[in-house]
Amino acid sequence: MKILITILLICVPAFAQQIGNPTTQQGVIPARGVFAIRNARIVTVSGADIENGTVVIRDGKIEAVGTTVNVPAGAQSIDGRGLSVYPGMIDAGTNMGLVEVPQGANGTVDTSEVGELNPNAKAITAVNPHSAHIAVTRVEGITNTLTAPTGGLISGQAALINLLGTAPKEMAVVPQFALVINYPRVGFGGGGFGGFQAPPNLAETLSNNERQVEQIRKMLRDAEAYGRTLDAYEKDKTLPRPDRNVVLEPLVPYVRGEQPVIFRADREAEIRGALKFAEEMKLKPIILGGNDAWKVASLLKEKNVPVILTGVFSLPSREDDAYDILYENPAKLQQAGVRFAISTGDAGAEVRNLAQYAGMAAAFGLSKADAVKSVTLYPAQIMNVADRLGSIEPGKMANLVVTDGDLLEIRTRIRYLFIDGRPVVLTSRHTELNDAFKNRK
């Protein structure tokens, strides 16, 4: 360990020694403070790009943005000449921190609870702040992820987190953001085994799915009734006191449409089924997956339901699909006016490649500006945190990435990273191993 620390100390970029704490891997959060990034190109995302601008960060928040901003006295200053400042990227479809090694190390997997209906399973409880995935991901400019459980029919509740912190609570932006429901599948989405065809016994599948939807429906109705009973009792204590139920209780805000419900659904029939079910139950749906979303675009637009696309890099679901069918999915949704975000859909290890997913969408019809939005502002809007994340505006959380080029280009380097206004050292398990071995003779 001593050697590691020594190596770390030697290898930390120079700026980090000036600002921030070089020992993030040891679990100390770098301190907030006052920082100014000067003379940089500022890609605000929400507004026009600002050339030669300055961003001032104070106590975790963006204080000022513009060309005529005064740098406060005592601010730690970063020379941003030739650099660009972007809002941190957000991946709204991961299991970040819930799984370390998916194969052969079940002890590190915390994604799926026993049974089909687990609304009370909360991702924020199990997020491992010290997972190697977190630093590996953030040093590529991803500052936030939605971290969701995956199992059963009702998987649990997803958390929106900052990719920095020593405790889940410190990381949480929205600890219980959404309920996650796996809408029963009629076939596989992209790429996987059996991906070409719906099951030959589709009728059986559908009736089986209907039974599963009924299971979900029953639990949501129970939760609704449970909520009403509790409310009634609060108003009138002469009523019989209802027993508290830890499974139903967390469902109440979701069945009342106060918080969103994420439906995993890729195929057209699944998406339509989820939308219908959400309408019937008066839920606030978000589609996660969405490989066939372009086919359902007008309905999604009509119902104003957003989609978190995880399949941009998946192989087309069907043999006859055009080769670029999933590359073009974001552009088609954009044209149709459907709200969407681009996600890797990855458990953790490859979330760092989020920018390339957006880049591919831009190679196939999405504008470059929209591609950036699809991994910054759009996910923030979908997750109702656009007042805090997703763009560079005063008052927002200072989750910022300073690059030497286009945010989405793979050859671009991240030069500085701020999460929650804290300057993050750009080291990870991977840079450490690189440093340890690159000069082995």
Q: Which of residues 213-272 bind another protein (CB under 8 A)?
A: 269
Query: Which part of the chain contacts another protein (CB under 8 A), choosing from 50-58, 84-92, 321-329, 391-399?
Result: 321-329
Residues with Cβ within 8 Å of residue 111, at least 6 apart in sequence: 95, 98, 99, 149, 150, 151, 347
Residue 15 as a binder of another protein (CB under 8 A): the answer is no
Minimal distance, residue 441 CB to another protein, in Å: 7
| 372 vs 368: CA distance, rounded Å | 6
Number of CB atoms found within 10 A of residue 138's CB: 28
Near another protein by CB under 8 A: residue from 63, 100, 266, 420: 100
Residues with Cβ within 8 Å of residue 201, at least 6 apart in sequence: none
DSSP lists the bridge partners of residue 146 as: 160
| 146 vs 139: CA distance, rounded Å | 17
Nearer to another protein, 185 or 396 (CB): 185
With 0-12 / 13-18 / 19 or more C-beta atoms within 10 angstroms meaning exposed / middle / buried, residue 70 is exposed
Q: Helix 429-437 crosses helix 2-11 at what angle (to 10 degrees)?
A: 90
Under the phi-then-psi rule, with left for phi > 0, alpha for psi from -120 to 50, and beta for the rest, what region is 226? Answer: alpha
DSSP lists the bridge partners of residue 122 as: 157
Q: Which two tokens stand for residue 187?
A: 């076939």
Nearer to another protein, 69 or 198 (CB): 198
With 0-12 / 13-18 / 19 or more C-beta atoms within 10 angstroms meaning exposed / middle / buried, residue 206 is middle
Near another protein by CB under 8 A: residue from 20, 141, 184, 379: 184
Minimal distance, residue 69 CB to another protein, in Å: 31
Residue 10 as a binder of another protein (CB under 8 A): the answer is no
Nearer to another protein, 235 or 440 (CB): 440
- Which amino acid, one-letter code, is at 34? V
Applying the rule CB under 8 A, the residues between 363 and 422 that interact with another protein are: 363-364, 368, 408-413
| 152 vs 304: CA distance, rounded Å | 27
Residue 112 as a binder of another protein (CB under 8 A): the answer is yes
Nearer to another protein, 77 or 353 (CB): 353
Beta-sheet pairing, 76-79 with 340-342? unpaired
Residue 34, classed as helix, strand or coil, is strand
Near another protein by CB under 8 A: residue from 49, 204, 279, 280: 204
Write down the residue that tokens 């859909």 correspond to. 345
Write down the residue that tokens 């690059």 correspond to. 403
Near another protein by CB under 8 A: residue from 53, 187, 285, 379: 187
Residues with Cβ within 8 Å of residue 352, at least 6 apart in sequence: 136, 137, 139, 140, 142
| 369 vs 389: CA distance, rounded Å | 17
Applying the rule CB under 8 A, the residues between 143 and 172 that interact with another protein are: 150-153
Minimal distance, residue 375 CB to another protein, in Å: 12
Number of CB atoms found within 10 A of residue 150's CB: 18
* Neighbouring C-alpha atoms within 13 Å toward the C-beta of 66: 6
Size of interface with another protein, in residues (CB under 8 A): 89
Nearer to another protein, 211 or 282 (CB): 211
Residue 324 as a binder of another protein (CB under 8 A): the answer is yes
Residue 116 as a binder of another protein (CB under 8 A): the answer is yes
Applying the rule CB under 8 A, the residues between 290 and 309 that interact with another protein are: none
Near another protein by CB under 8 A: residue from 25, 162, 209, 399: 209
Residue 138 as a binder of another protein (CB under 8 A): the answer is no
* Residue 264 near residue 180 (C-beta atoms within 8 A): yes
Query: Which part of the chain contacts another protein (CB under 8 A), choosing from 73-81, 223-231, 349-357, 416-424?
Result: 349-357
Near another protein by CB under 8 A: residue from 67, 197, 298, 335: 197
Query: Which part of the chain contacts another protein (CB under 8 A), choosing from 52-60, 220-228, 246-254, 430-438?
Result: 430-438
Applying the rule CB under 8 A, the residues between 54 and 93 that interact with another protein are: none
Nearer to another protein, 249 or 321 (CB): 321
Near another protein by CB under 8 A: residue from 4, 34, 109, 299: 109
Minimal distance, residue 278 CB to another protein, in Å: 18
Near another protein by CB under 8 A: residue from 27, 47, 82, 192: 192
Minimal distance, residue 361 CB to another protein, in Å: 10
Nearer to another protein, 32 or 217 (CB): 217
| 19 vs 1: CA distance, rounded Å | 24
Nearer to another protein, 91 or 224 (CB): 91
Near another protein by CB under 8 A: residue from 31, 101, 232, 369: 101
